[in-house]
Amino acid sequence: MKAFIFDLDGVITDSAEYHYLAWKALGEDLGIPFDREFNETLKGVSRTESLERILRLGGRENDFSVEEKGRLATKKNEHYVSLISNITSADILPGIEVFLSDLKEAGYKVGMASASKNAQMVTHQLGLLDAFDHIVDAATVTDSKPHPEVFLKAAAALQVEPKDCVGIEDAVAGIEAIHAAGMFAVGIGDPEVLTEAELVFTDTSILTLDHVLARI
């Protein structure tokens, strides 16, 4: 392996929880309440596709024009941005800083493949911009996860073959994207949800370079 490519939300920081809270509030406004189990199907999925999935859940997919959907997505994003506005390096998930510095020390390339348009801003707030050799976010990608584009772009920018990359994800759609890119998939979360990953850690505190290398 030559490179490690990380998802952001739910892997580097717990922003996945804030995405959930903001979508849940919008869903309730629209009369479409949903639980954490449904939220698993939103993880890793783009802003517009997440909205479509929520509207479909409530049978309201034909109730809004493109402009209205744009306003709903903006409303969710404004709420999400307000929820994350105070995050700092204290919000980096346990073990991640040590893991990132171990990777650098061992000479691996380190990339980010995020479905979020807020990825640069969140990474900046966490004080981690320098920890990544390259960040690919939703702004430069046409097809969102589970399509492999974001991971393939990250590998290309790092000048590493996909087969020599490890992808790290908390979302089912993200694990699919890693596999579609031809990479080794490490999941962060519930092994019963992330069933397709080669290796799953229940949380980042036990994610170490030694543990991953021992399993490749």
Residues that bind ligand BG6 (CB under 6 A): 8-9, 16, 19, 42-47, 50, 77, 114-118, 138, 171
Q: Which of 10, 162, 187, 189 binds Mg ion (CB under 5 A)?
A: 10
Pairwise CA distance, residues 188 & 203, whole Å: 6
Phi, psi of 193 (to 5 degrees): -95, -45
Q: Among this protein's residues, is 7 annotated catalytic?
A: yes
Q: Is 199 helix (H, G, I), strand (E, B) or coil?
A: strand
Residues 208, 131, 150, 10, Cα dihedral to 10°:
50
Q: Which of 111, 102, 100, 107 is nearest to 165 (CA)?
A: 111
- Can residue 171 be called a binding residue for Mg ion (CB under 5 A)? yes
Number of H helices, E strands in the chain: 9, 6
Identify which of residues 40 and 160 has a Cβ nearer to ligand BG6 in the complex.
40
Pairwise CA distance, residues 205 & 129, whole Å: 21
Q: Which of Mg ion, ligand BG6, none does residue 125 bind (CB under 5 to 8 Å by kind)?
A: none
Closest CB 140 distance from ligand BG6, rounded Å: 12
Pairwise CA distance, residues 214 & 211, whole Å: 5
- Can residue 9 be called a binding residue for Mg ion (CB under 5 A)? yes
Selecting among 9, 29, 143, 210, the annotated active-site residue is: 9
Pairwise CA distance, residues 21 & 135, whole Å: 25
Selecting among 7, 133, 137, 170, the annotated active-site residue is: 7
Q: Which of Mg ion, ligand BG6, none does residue 42 bind (CB under 5 to 8 Å by kind)?
A: ligand BG6
Amino acid at 40: E
Q: Which of Mg ion, ligand BG6, none does residue 149 bind (CB under 5 to 8 Å by kind)?
A: none
Closest CB 156 distance from ligand BG6, rounded Å: 20
Q: Which of ligand BG6, Mg ion, none does residue 116 bind (CB under 5 to 8 Å by kind)?
A: ligand BG6
| Residues with catalytic function | 7, 9
Contact residues for Mg ion, defined by CB under 5 A: 7, 9-10, 170-171
